[in-house]
């Protein structure tokens, strides 16, 4: 199972929804791996997972498991990252962390390669992968920011259940059947595992993702607000978010309003600009009913943008619709892209 | 079946999703009816419908059917209203029209009783009932407009399938089962019956309601924009909308951003103001996860408002979440409220 060239890679949280997509992405992108270690909680240790035709046994993530690891991809929850990412770094690994544990740490770069790849050069062992809903939005915003500058962003999200994990997907599916069969339902996970109350997600829209802060915004909304400013290195960028969970399995959608700093391009100019943007696929032809949709995004790494149109009142304002697979570009794919950038920029230790 | 007191009432489109709710609302509100006529297309004529314990036979809507009718509630599509509303008026009826046929006609008042009941006094026989997504929004906006003035409104909608009719609801339900069973699906109605392409609504979000205009906005979006200005009698009000169809049976949700003209009340002041607002029920207690949701709104006439919070960047800006049963306050209930206002203001002919 060992190659001569490549890196010693550990995937932490290998049995989760994102971990599964990480392995698929590493496979598809043919990331150079010398040794692969699949790590998880004690509970999932012992499971078998196949990678490039070989079977791997998942091991418990312990500090010692990171001996010799050069690249560790973490996606096993914030507390695991808090406990083990420093242990991995201590042993020489560079950590790409897909939890919220380090995202706003000023010593940790928060990176979407299409937007701020160079921030990787200042890493101190840990690099944070942004929140799923933030990533797809900043990819869509970046070409506009670069050319016209950004003043204000208001986003309302339409987020898929797989962002809350595999158990949440199962809850949604079973509950959907029960509602269709007019059976009683008993929500136990959504909107937020671990919060006090749980609500029906089937055939509903829940305006809560993650818990509430004292200011009336949810943590998910504050993530979008703070992470966008950090990734774009623009503290005075106005950002507001309303995050809503939908009965969609995979694929986050976003209704985005922006005001630009300078200029007032027409919608066609913005479409051209975005169609040339890194990581973006434009799907914008209203007369043919072409626009991005969650179900069409599943399994694809692109950020899909459409419905681009001018605000009818403000010269410098625009509306558009952004969709992406929340498990791929929103999580696993972006993490592996970061890993590729680390290789390209020669930032992994030999 | 005839009462001594009350009015001769015709319900046009009695067999549709909204018609059904109209009859329920007339019953529940004990609207004074002397004679009731249930009218429909030729196709549905002959069906039996029960009202207040009596069975009625649905008749074909023809010009002559309106002889002697004092109040006609239309909800059978724009072309039926275009053809028959003038015939009803010619015969002495006042028409409350729930289609988009006359909404932007400057001789036709567009009325939400909580907002602009007095506009009824200028009617010329026809009164238009606004679009469902507009009604619930203006009910929530009105107390704020009255006290602080409104400068800008940006709304992203989360709209239920029943707004597209009973057949669309059936399509969503069957399709949901088929997707859960991993069967092939064959969308035929949504997003818009009569448009070129049809897409999966089950476990998806479709950013199209009604057809597209040349400016890149859909007709639904332009309805929200134009109707809001008309109902609020404020042509310079900035309004923008993105309308999205969800796999929800009944209950439209809306993520609303506003900028007020004067003052900068804190969120608690706005909550107090809205909890006192006509037709509004406040559901806003984040620490207890209390906020409005589509499934909780079904069958209730209220407009539910929650998640009220200040924008973090602009002093005069706020965000909130508005939910209402699109078939009730969004359609049937508002039409019957208009009828009640006509009675109260003595505007029905004897």
For residue A12, give Cα distances in angstroms to A42, A90, A99, B132, B245. Answer: 12, 16, 11, 48, 38
A18 is an annotated ligand-binding site residue: yes
Domains belonging to chain B, first-starting first, are: 7-130+331-344 (3.40.50.720), 134-325 (3.30.360.10)
Tokens of B310: 């200040």
B1 band by pLDDT with thresholds 50, 70 and 90: very low
Query: Residue ranges of chain A with pLDDT lower than 50?
Result: 1-2
pLDDT at B347: 96
Q: Please tell me the predicted confidence (pLDDT) of residue B349.
A: 80
Q: What is the mean pLDDT of residues B39-67?
A: 96
Residue B315 has pLDDT above 90, yes or no: yes
> Rounded to a whole number, what is the distance in angstroms from the first to the last CA of chain B?
20
- Rounded to 5 degrees, φ, ψ at A312 are -85, -5
What does the radius of gyration of chain B's CA atoms come to, in whole angstroms? Answer: 20
The CA distance from A231 to the nearest CA of chain B, in Å, is 18
- From the list A123, A132, A198, A243, the catalytic residue is A132
For residues A88 and A64, is the Cβ–Cβ distance under 8 A?
A: no
**Closest chain B residue to A319 measured between Cα atoms?**
B242
The pLDDT score that the predictor gives to residue B278 is 98
What is the rounded radius of gyration, in angstroms, for the C-alpha atoms of chain A? 20
Q: What single DSSP character describes residue B209? A: S
pLDDT, position A223? 98
Q: pLDDT tens-digit profile of B187-242?
A: 999 999 999 999 999 999 999 999 999 999 999 999 999 999 999 999 999 999 99
A 10 A CB-CB count for A95 gives: 26
> Least CA distance to A175: which residue of chain B?
B180
Q: Which long-range contacts (CB under 8 A, 24 or more apart) does A170-173 make?
A: A171/A201, A172/A201, A172/A202, A172/A247, A172/A249, A173/A249, A173/B180
Joined together, the tokens standing for residue A169 give 């997907």
CB of B72 closer than 8 Å to CB of B96: yes
Q: How high is the ipTM of this complex?
A: 0.96
Query: Looking at the predicted structure, is the pLDDT value of residue B350 above 90?
Result: no
Q: Contacts of residue B267 in chain A, CB cutoff 8 Å? A: 216
pLDDT at B260 over 70: yes
How large is the average pLDDT for residues B110-128? 98
| Each residue's pLDDT tens digit, A10-40 | 999 999 989 999 999 999 999 999 999 999 9
Q: Give the pairing type, strands A7-12 and A33-40.
A: parallel
Question: Please, are residues A348 and A342 in contact by the beta-carbon 8 Å criterion?
Answer: yes
Tens of pLDDT, residues B129-158: 999 999 999 999 999 999 999 999 999 999
What pLDDT is recorded for position A1? 45
Tally A–B CB contacts below 8 A.
168
Catalytic residue among B123, B233, B252, B319: B252
Active site residue A198: no
**B169 pLDDT above the threshold of 90:** yes
Q: Is B243 a catalytic residue?
A: no
Q: Scanning the structure block, which residue is given the tokens 């434009």? A: A282
pLDDT at B133: 98
pLDDT for residue A349: 80
Minimal Cα distance from B290: which residue of A?
A: A197
More confident residue, A268 or B349: A268
| Residue B193 contacts residue B164 (beta carbons within 8 Å) | yes
CB A279 within 8 A of CB A333: no
Q: Which residue is it, tokens 């992406």?
A: A324
How far, CA to CA in Å, does A257 sit from each of A57, B78, B132?
A: 47, 32, 23
Q: With 80 as the cut, is the pLDDT of residue B3 above it?
A: no
A203:B248 CB<8 A? yes
Neighboring chain B residues of A254 at a CB cutoff of 8 Å: none
Separation CA A245–CA B189 (nearest Å): 25
Residue B163 assigned ligand-binding role: yes
């Amino acid at each position: 199972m060992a190659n001569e060239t490549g890196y010693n890679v550990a995937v932490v949280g290998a049995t989760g929804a994102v971990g599964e997509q990480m392995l698929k992405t590493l496979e598809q992108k043919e990331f150079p791996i010398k040794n692969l270690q699949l790590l998880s909680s004690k509970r999932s240790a012992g499971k078998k997972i196949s990678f490039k035709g070989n079977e791997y046994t998942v091991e418990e993530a312990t500090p010692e498991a990171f001996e010799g690891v050069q690249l560790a991809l973490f996606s096993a929850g914030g507390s695991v990252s808090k406990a083990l990412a420093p242990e991995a770094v201590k042993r020489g690994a560079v950590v790409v962390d897909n939890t919220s544990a380090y995202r706003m740490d000023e010593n940790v770069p928060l990176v979407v390669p299409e937007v701020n790849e160079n921030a990787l050069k200042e890493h101190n062992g840990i690099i944070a992968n942004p929140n799923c809903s933030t990533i797809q939005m900043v990819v869509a915003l970046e070409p506009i920011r670069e050319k016209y500058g950004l003043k204000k962003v208001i986003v309302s999200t339409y987020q898929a259940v797989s962002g809350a994990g595999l158990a949440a997907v199962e809850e949604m599916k079973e509950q959907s059947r029960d509602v269709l069969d007019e059976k009683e339902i008993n929500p136990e996970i959504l909107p937020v595992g671990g919060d006090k109350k749980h609500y029906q997600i089937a055939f509903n829209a829940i305006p809560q993702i993650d818990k509430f802060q004292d200011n009336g915004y949810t943590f998910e909304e504050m993530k979008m607000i703070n992470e966008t400013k950090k990734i774009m290195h623009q503290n005075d960028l106005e950002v507001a978010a309303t995050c809503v969970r939908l009965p969609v399995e995979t694929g986050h959608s976003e209704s985005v309003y922006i005001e630009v700093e300078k200029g007032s391009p027409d919608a066609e100019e913005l479409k051209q600009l975005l169609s040339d943007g890194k990581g973006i696929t434009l799907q914008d032809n209203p007369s043919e009913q072409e626009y991005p949709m969650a179900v069409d995004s599943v399994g694809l790494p692109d950020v899909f943008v459409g419905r681009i149109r001018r605000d009818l009142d403000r010269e410098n304002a625009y509306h558009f619709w952004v969709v992406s697979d929340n498990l791929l570009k929103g999580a696993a794919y972006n993490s592996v892209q970061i890993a590729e950038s680390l290789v390209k920029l020669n930032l992994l230790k030999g």
